[in-house]
């Protein structure tokens, strides 16, 4: 008798803090048979899957990582063995998480799947800053983009889209800060346009680095090994003046409205 296929859940782990998981995500982890998890998932989050086999399949820039095609095969093989398979992704699975590749592979293999949203780092960082991504009469458009290009992919026109938006949130960009700065300015963004880098959003390790487009490469020198966002727009002009208690990581030259 053929064993019924299991179900795969693509679950958002949020920005890192375990208490920012959704209730649905937490309940799925508690009953999971096997969990394939990203590199930056918090140990306390993984601890919720007390009875599950845990398999690390994280991808970190510049380090050894699991090939996507192998992850796809692991998910399919697991669904043929276990009733409840959780693929735990940082942030939200549907934003820069390569979820579509896994979705397509599972559908082709006839595996049932479900997507469980998570809090993306952009929203966690905005909460840390107490600064809305949008603001009446100032910011009515938001772009999520990344300068990272996969080998063999077509040209990524992220800078044009980011320059046209009132607020731009750039994922996986801090390590390419000089190129990001130059690309934005070549698309018409002023060097004085406010920006901020947020590392380890929503955690007690968070680091907030106010800067501007022209000084991004200087600010990025203070970024450690954690996940970081580059956020650009006039909404960040008053970040330094907000009077909140956070670690200001660097003192930058005064350019434009940045103090």
Give catalytic residue positions. 38, 59
Name the 3-class secondary structure at 48.
coil
Give me the DSSP letters along 121-177.
HHHHHHHHHT--S-BTTTB--EEEE-----TTPPP--HHHHHHHSSEEEEET-GGGH
| Start-to-end C-alpha separation, the chain | 71
Q: In angstroms, rounded to a whole number, what is the distance separating the alpha carbons of residues 141 and 256?
A: 22
Q: In angstroms, rounded to a whole number, what is the distance separating the alpha carbons of residues 54 and 36?
A: 6
């Amino acid at each position: 008798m053929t064993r019924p296929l299991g179900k795969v859940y693509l679950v958002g782990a949020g920005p890192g803090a375990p208490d920012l998981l959704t209730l649905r995500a937490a309940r799925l982890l508690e009953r999971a048979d096997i969990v394939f998890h990203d590199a930056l998932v918090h140990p306390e989050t993984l601890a919720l899957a007390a009875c599950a086999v845990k398999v690390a399949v994280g991808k970190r820039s510049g380090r050894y990582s699991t090939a996507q095609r192998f992850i796809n095969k692991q998910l399919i093989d697991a669904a043929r063995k276990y009733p409840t398979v959780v693929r735990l992704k940082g942030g939200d699975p549907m934003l820069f998480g390569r979820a579509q590749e896994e979705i397509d592979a599972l559908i082709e293999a006839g595996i049932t799947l479900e997507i469980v949203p998570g809090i993306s780092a952009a929203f966690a960082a905005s909460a840390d800053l107490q600064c809305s991504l949008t603001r009446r009469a100032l910011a009515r458009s938001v772009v999520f983009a990344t300068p990272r290009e996969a080998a063999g992919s077509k040209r990524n026109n992220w800078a044009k889209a980011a320059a046209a938006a009132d607020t731009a949130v750039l994922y996986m960009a801090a390590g390419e800060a000089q190129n990001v700065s130059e690309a934005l300015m070549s698309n018409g963004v002023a060097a004085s346009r406010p920006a901020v880098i947020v590392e380890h959003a929503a955690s007690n390790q968070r680091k907030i680095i106010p800067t501007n487009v022209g000084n991004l490469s200087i600010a990025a020198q203070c970024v450690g090994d954690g996940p970081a966002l580059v956020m650009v727009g006039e909404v960040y002009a008053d970040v330094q003046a907000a009077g909140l208690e956070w670690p200001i990581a660097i003192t930058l030259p005064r350019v434009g409205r940045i103090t």
